[in-house]
Protein backbone atom coordinates (compact mmCIF):
# COMPACT_ATOMS: atom_id res chain seq x y z
CA UNK A 1 0.00 0.00 0.00
CA UNK A 2 1.13 3.51 -0.70
CA UNK A 3 1.09 6.30 1.88
CA UNK A 4 -1.70 7.93 -0.13
CA UNK A 5 -3.91 4.82 -0.03
CA UNK A 6 -3.27 4.47 3.73
CA UNK A 7 -4.31 8.09 4.21
CA UNK A 8 -7.51 7.61 2.22
CA UNK A 9 -8.38 4.37 4.04
CA UNK A 10 -7.88 6.03 7.45
CA UNK A 11 -9.77 9.13 6.31
CA UNK A 12 -12.83 7.17 5.20
CA UNK A 13 -12.69 4.80 8.20
CA UNK A 14 -12.88 7.85 10.48
CA UNK A 15 -16.00 9.16 8.77
CA UNK A 16 -17.58 5.70 8.59
CA UNK A 17 -17.04 5.13 12.32
CA UNK A 18 -18.52 8.50 13.25
CA UNK A 19 -21.47 8.12 10.85
CA UNK A 20 -22.32 4.63 12.12
CA UNK A 21 -22.16 5.85 15.72
CA UNK A 22 -24.38 8.81 14.82
CA UNK A 23 -26.96 6.45 13.32
CA UNK A 24 -26.88 4.12 16.35
CA UNK A 25 -27.26 7.11 18.70
CA UNK A 26 -30.35 8.20 16.78
CA UNK A 27 -31.73 4.65 16.69
CA UNK A 28 -32.16 4.46 12.93
CA UNK A 29 -30.10 3.81 9.83
CA UNK A 30 -32.46 6.05 7.89
CA UNK A 31 -31.39 9.25 9.64
CA UNK A 32 -28.48 10.64 7.68
CA UNK A 33 -25.99 13.25 8.70
CA UNK A 34 -26.55 16.67 7.18
CA UNK A 35 -23.91 18.50 5.13
CA UNK A 36 -23.30 20.68 8.19
CA UNK A 37 -22.74 17.55 10.32
CA UNK A 38 -20.22 16.28 7.75
CA UNK A 39 -18.42 19.64 7.75
CA UNK A 40 -18.18 19.55 11.55
CA UNK A 41 -16.80 16.01 11.54
CA UNK A 42 -14.28 16.97 8.85
CA UNK A 43 -13.19 19.93 10.98
CA UNK A 44 -12.63 17.56 13.90
CA UNK A 45 -10.69 15.16 11.67
CA UNK A 46 -8.49 17.92 10.26
CA UNK A 47 -7.84 19.22 13.79
CA UNK A 48 -6.61 15.79 14.85
CA UNK A 49 -9.54 14.94 17.13
CA UNK A 50 -9.80 11.18 17.51
CA UNK A 51 -13.04 9.48 16.51
CA UNK A 52 -14.08 8.44 20.05
CA UNK A 53 -14.52 12.05 21.32
CA UNK A 54 -16.42 12.85 18.11
CA UNK A 55 -18.78 9.96 18.76
CA UNK A 56 -19.31 11.12 22.34
CA UNK A 57 -20.11 14.63 21.13
CA UNK A 58 -22.80 13.27 18.82
CA UNK A 59 -24.66 11.48 21.60
CA UNK A 60 -27.95 13.01 22.76
CA UNK A 61 -27.51 14.81 26.13
CA UNK A 62 -29.54 12.22 28.06
CA UNK A 63 -27.19 9.43 26.88
CA UNK A 64 -23.76 11.05 27.25
CA UNK A 65 -24.13 12.18 30.85
CA UNK A 66 -24.26 15.90 30.06
CA UNK A 67 -27.35 16.90 32.01
CA UNK A 68 -30.82 16.98 30.48
CA UNK A 69 -33.14 14.87 32.42
pLDDT reported for residue 26: 75
What confidence category does residue 69 fall into, taking pLDDT thresholds of 50, 70 and 90?
very low
pLDDT (tens digit per residue) in 14-54? 888 888 888 887 777 777 778 888 888 889 888 988 888 87
Spell out the domain ranges in the chain. 3-60
User: Does pTM surpass 0.85?
Assistant: no
Closest CA to 21 of 52, 63, 61: 52
Q: Are 14 and 45 within 8 A, CB to CB? A: yes
Instruction: Say what the alpha-carbon torsion angle 41, 42, 47, 48 is, to the nearest 10 degrees.
Output: 80
Amino acid sequence: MTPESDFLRNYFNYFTEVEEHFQRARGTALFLMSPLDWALVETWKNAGVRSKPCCAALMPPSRNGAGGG
